[in-house]
Structure 1
Amino acid sequence: MANKKTLVLGASENTSRYGNIALRRLRANGHEVVAIGRREGQVGDVVIHKSKPDEEGIDTVTMYMNEQNQKEYEDYILSLKPKRIIFNPGAENYTLAHKAEQQGVQTIEACTLVMLSTGQY
Structure 2
Amino acid sequence: MISHLDHLVLTTAREAACVDFYTRVLGMELETFIGGTPPVQRRAFRFGHQKINLHVQGAEFEPKAHLPVPGALDLCFIVTVPLETVIERLRAQEWPIEQGPVLRTGARGQIRSVYVRDPDFNLIELSQPV
- Same fold, TM-score > 0.5, yes or no: no
TM-score w.r.t. length of structure 2: 0.31
Q: Which has the larger radius of gyration?
A: 2
Structure number with the higher helix fraction is: 1
TM-score w.r.t. length of structure 1: 0.32
